[in-house]
Amino acid sequence: MDLTSLNLAEMRDLVRSRGASAEEVVLAHLERINREDQKIRAYLTLSPERALEQAARVDRAVANGDALGRLAGVPVAVKDVIVTRGVRTTCGSRILECYVPPYNAAAVERLEAAGACILGKTNCDEFAMGSSTENSGFFATHNPHDLERVPGGSSGGSAAAVAANLATVALGSDTGGSIRQPAALCGVAGLMGTYGRVSRFGLVAFASSLDHIGPFGRSVRDLAAVLQVIAGRDPNDSTSAAVPVPDYESELEEGVASLRVGIPQEYFAGLSAEIGDPIERGIDLLQRIGCTVVPVTLPHTDYAIACYYIIATAEASSNLARYDGVRYGFRAPEYGDLRDMYERTRDAGFGAEVKRRIMLGTYALSSGYYEAYYLKAQKVRSLLARDFREAFKNVDVIVTPTSPVPAFKIGERADDPLQMYLADIYTVTASLSGIPGISVPCGTTRGDAASGVPPLPVGMQLLARHFDEARLLRTAYAFERAGGFSGA
């Protein structure tokens, strides 16, 4: 049996039934990482001792007949913007290359309390700023479906790890699509919950009003199980919501009969056939399993990208001001006065994309431009949220593409920031509105054997009302069981 190919439920049941020990499961994954990750480069830092210590605790509990956590023995990867006590956390940046946190993120604490075994920290765009994982300060991650292509971003390392069986599930962060877009490009499932559903305590901030932590998995049940563990109010995060957390796994089986699925015309105008055709087949499948398709409109969608990149960069410029060489992280070895130390430290420690976003955000917040840019963007954000509220009066979920393109080649868009930003065109609206979203595989592109282009994964995005993750997961699960992941 290949222990690395099992989904979460299979892995959990195997460990509980003593079909394999948690230690055997962890060792199988570490062996595969050592063998395969040299070409994929999903991980920045491994933590084998930590994973094996947790596995030993799980195996003792199994032997003693003790109650087991929901994720007992399950190998997990964690994006390197989520802090882990005693394990290097770099945010994909040279400025934090040697930073070892003294505490765990709330999500990490909850994972390990449930028995999960953390294998290591995954590569990402620096401070989660990017859509391809090429902006990492260390190296690019490769898409397991075609090593010449990107895995998406900024959580590309986590998506690639799950797609390549280098972890059973993984945590990522999503600010404008950074879980959903790489999930689509790597052919796995990825979930961003409602803003406030999962504590951000220990998530290194990019844009605080937009940041989320969420899971990747190879099945919808994987996502439901992980969300069940990490969701809920956290006193260390004032933005986490005191909203009851349903039993997501048990509600998966409730079905989707008579569910109303909204199709927004704005997301399909100009969509290429290689992405549009699999999405249309996915919508047809939802109809065949009992859903009713309803056209909806989200009229302010065209303003979303501009709105997002003003708000996100403004918040980033504020959040990244703390990296100055004084308190922690890298400090330039040679400098004159204090101002010179700041400048040299930030110049050497930050990459080009982070510098670009700091500059954009500082400009948007500067005297004379705040009202023209940042304040106006916040007003547009309110209009986008209103669009969704109106649409959800008539439908239960909304279906869109996740990405306008399949995985592109490494380096193809590196010199064109605008084209890179447009990779998030279908995901930023949900982020700005605070609603939950999930991306699930819905087939592949045709590929072109003559040109050496393989079939590439296509993702379908489902959106729901605030704190309605249960319905979102139930819809995605019904789609998966009907064969939707294979494009049936």
Residue pLDDT, tens place only, 227-271: 999 999 999 999 999 999 999 999 999 989 989 999 999 999 989
Q: How much is the pLDDT for 451?
A: 84
The catalytically annotated residue of 178, 403, 433, 439 is 178
Lowest mean pLDDT of 106-115, 217-226, 286-295, 408-417, name the range: 408-417
CA–CA separation, 200 and 212 (whole Å):
7
Which CATH number, 3.40.50.300, 3.90.1300.10, 3.30.70.240, 1.10.3470.10, labels domain 252-302+382-486?
A: 3.90.1300.10
The 10s digit of each residue's pLDDT in 342-379 is 999 999 999 999 999 999 999 999 988 999 999 999 99
Q: Extract the tokens encoding 50.
A: 């930590």
Answer whether 255's CB lies under 8 Å from 457's CB: no
Architecture of domain 3-251: Alpha-Beta Complex (3.90)
> Is residue 328 pLDDT above 90, yes or no?
no
User: Domains of the chain: which residue ranges?
Assistant: 3-251, 252-302+382-486, 307-371
The catalytically annotated residue of 21, 93, 136, 154 is 154
Is there a shared CATH topology between the 3-251 domain and the 252-302+382-486 domain? yes
Question: Annotated catalytic, 178?
Answer: yes
Question: Annotated catalytic, 154?
Answer: yes
CA–CA separation, 470 and 66 (whole Å):
29
CA–CA separation, 5 and 23 (whole Å):
16
In terms of Cα–Cα distance, which of 100, 59, 140, 104 is closest to 353? 140
Residues in the chain: 488
Question: Annotated catalytic, 79?
Answer: yes
> Is residue 97 pLDDT above 80, yes or no?
yes
Over range 3-21, report the average pLDDT: 96
> Is residue 194 pLDDT above 90, yes or no?
yes
The catalytically annotated residue of 47, 79, 240, 433 is 79
What's the predicted TM-score (pTM) here? 0.97
